[in-house]
Structure 1
Amino acid sequence: MAIIKKANNINIQVSNNYTSLSKISHEESGEVIIEATKQNLELSSQKRAILQGFGKDGKGDDGCKEGVIKVGNKLIGKAKREPGFGYDGTKAEDMFFADSPISSASIKNDPVFKLSDATLGAYLDQLMTSLSIGDMETVALEMADRFKNGTGGTYKSDILNKEISNNPAFTTYHNSFLAELKEELKKNSYDPSSMKTIPMNLLNFSSFWDKVSGLGITVHQVWSAKAEILDYSYNKCTKMWSGTLKYTFYDHFGLDWEDIKKHGEDRIPQYHTGDFFKAWYILQHYRSAKPFITEMERTVYLGGNSDRD
């Protein structure tokens, strides 16, 4: 028989001793052991789950004479460039539209350039559907429609957020950043308000699965990123710390001329894939379509003990 516990927020705080016994679980304050001896044990929470013991002194946040550090919101990580702009602070080339760049004047001689807006739009849709599946196909077509309609602004999607959260590339990325974050917390006595902003790398979705399932064509490599720590608390008595790490990633749904030089002759997954990329570029830089910023979020709940981190 399995034990299933589900709640919006689980917070078990213990002063002195705490024991909860059942046939298949055992929990204690000094060392919490949750064990299923038959079948499965599942603890599921949409919010954060905190199990905390305060030891012999029974000092919770209110009873800690040494003090408790609390930080509501602090920017702790940031990429080198801002959304919409290059490393030098100038507007990114793939965010320009209706600009007829001199660098791409040769595309006017391409047969694709003579096609109607409707046909170019159909080409873009075909590119999206050929490189996405399932819910990500819905996202890809939504993004294409926003682009063709000239809506601009910022696009957000719960589906896209979920796709990122389940992606192995994000797990690797998060583990790397978390290691840096823990080092900085140690250096600053577990006070995020004293930390310098950590330079962030860019998350890249380039696996074969990413390329065929949708993240490759809709995002590929994020353009910018930031990380914030929310609702952070560190108890100097118990040495326990916890908080929420919120990632925000940004990308541009638009093309620059380098994209066409790279993909303009593509023949995979379809023979005319290169023409589909050209259609995307022509709609943006020579017709009425408008690029936009894609904003993605991922939240991770953190916790630890400064004596054991």
Structure 2
Amino acid sequence: MVVAIAKDNYLTPQHAFADNTYIPAMSPPRYGQDITSGCRFRAPRGHSVGDSPSELAPKMLKLLGIFAAGDKTGMARRLFDDFLNTRRTAVEYFDDERLNTAVGNHPNINSFCNAVVSAPNSPNRTTGQLRLHQSLKNAQWDIKKLHMPTNLGVPALNLGSKVFSTRDFNNGLGLMINGVQYVYVIATHYHYDSNAKKYWLTLNFVFYDIFGLDDDDLREYGAASDSIIASPASVGITAWWQLQHQFGYFPLVTRAATVKEYEIAAE
């Protein structure tokens, strides 16, 4: 059962995209313009770094050398290859076991997961807020009566420097995801022992983001043209936007999952 949902407050949710693997009975996440694609004639401010997919794709791929040069797993390249696969006819999920591992081991993700539980023995707690432990206590440790916590902030995979291409902007995570748009927290196992005054909880955290761009991304990070003063990163961003919104390349929804187990005193 889903016991918590976190959502990016900056989202303008318009387009639903279901996940029948993890949350078939729930209302699906809804995304903004970055999940759309099309064949528009002109960019919002006339940005253009090429006139065909064959010209644009190599420029987008240069982003891998800038922000994923340290990715030894190949996960970032696999995501780019899936996006550039012209045989795709719709938005799809991108799942990758190496991505799951990287997300599950990330310091920001571990801090987020612990803060969502906010148990007395959690290394990271959200003081003064109603989280899973407090909700379970209010429900007298009956998880079926739990009221889902609200106002959960979403985590980001953004350690390091974009300018110097370090950490998440070298291992591919900042390029593949950076800011997470949704997190669904699913309880797969729960046992409460009234004698021991303790409970055991297994949670599956599922993280969602769009591997796609909207017009605001182009305005903020794009290049007006492929000139000598434009950075390769801004040219790559513009090429990406053009492929998605001028040549109809469908974005992907990156989906990463990690399981965490907890043994907590019921106090």
Q: TM-score of the superposition, structure 2-length normalised?
A: 0.77
Query: How far apart are residue 87 of structure 1 and its match?
Result: 3.5
Q: In 2, distance between residues paired with 1:238 and 1:155?
A: 42
Q: Is 2:5 aligned against 1:75?
A: no
Which of 1 and 2 has greater Rg? 1
Tell me: CA distance 1:232–1:224, structure 2 relative to 1, closer, same or farther (3 Å). Answer: same
Select between 276-285 and 228-237 the one with higher mean Cα deviation: 228-237
Give yes or no for contact 1:78–1:225 (8 Å, CA) kept in 2: yes
Query: How far apart are residue 94 of structure 1 and its match?
Result: 0.6
1:278 maps to which of 233, 238, 243: 238
Structure 2 counterpart of 1:205, which letter? L
Structure 2 counterpart of 1:204, which letter? A
Q: How does 1:152-191 map to 2 (within 5 A)?
A: 152-179=91-118, 180-191=131-142
Q: String of CA shifts for 1:242-291, please: whole Å, max 9, x gaps.
A: 12111001010100011111111499xx9321111100000000113110
Identity of aligned residues (%): 21
User: Cα RMSD (Å) of the superposition?
Assistant: 2.5
Q: In 2, distance between residues paired with 1:79 and 1:215?
A: 20
Give yes or no for contact 2:14–2:32 (8 Å, CA) kept in 1: no
Q: In 2, distance between residues paired with 1:159 and 1:297?
A: 11
Query: How far apart are residue 295 of structure 1 and its match?
Result: 0.7
For residue 45 of structure 2, give the secondary structure of its aligned residue in structure 1.
helix
Who is 1:49 aligned against?
none
Q: String of CA shifts for 1:130-160, please: whole Å, max 9, x gaps.
A: 2114446611111111111143310101111
Q: How does 1:1-309 map to 2 (within 5 A)?
A: 74-80=1-7, 86-87=12-13, 92-100=32-40, 104-107=43-46, 110=48, 112-114=49-51, 116-135=52-71, 138-150=74-86, 151=88, 152-179=91-118, 180-199=131-150, 200-208=152-160, 209-265=167-223, 271-306=231-266, 309=267
User: In proportion to residue count, which structure has more strand?
Assistant: 1
For residue 203 of structure 1, give the secondary structure of its aligned residue in structure 2.
coil
Q: TM-score of the superposition, structure 1-length normalised?
A: 0.67
Q: In 2, distance between residues paired with 1:169 and 1:261?
A: 28
Tell me: CA distance 1:291–1:188, structure 2 relative to 1, closer, same or farther (3 Å). Answer: same
Q: In 2, distance between residues paired with 1:236 and 1:305?
A: 10
**What residue ranges of structure 1 are gaps of 5+ in the alignment?**
1-73
**What residue ranges of structure 2 are gaps of 5+ in the alignment?**
16-29, 119-130, 161-166
| RCO comparison, higher one (Cα < 8 Å, 6+) | 2
Structure 2 counterpart of 1:79, which letter? A
Give yes or no for contact 2:62–2:232 (8 Å, CA) kept in 1: no
Structure 1 counterpart of 2:220, which letter? K
Select between 218-227 and 229-238 the one with higher mean Cα deviation: 229-238
Tell me: CA distance 1:156–1:86, structure 2 relative to 1, closer, same or farther (3 Å). Answer: same
Query: How far apart are residue 191 of structure 1 and its match?
Result: 1.2
Structure 2 counterpart of 1:166, which letter? N
Q: In 1, distance between residues paired with 2:74 and 2:138?
A: 45
Q: In 2, distance between residues paired with 1:229 and 1:262?
A: 39
Give yes or no for contact 1:140–1:218 (8 Å, CA) kept in 2: yes
Q: In 1, distance between residues paired with 2:176 and 2:145?
A: 37
For residue 170 of structure 2, give the secondary structure of its aligned residue in structure 1.
helix
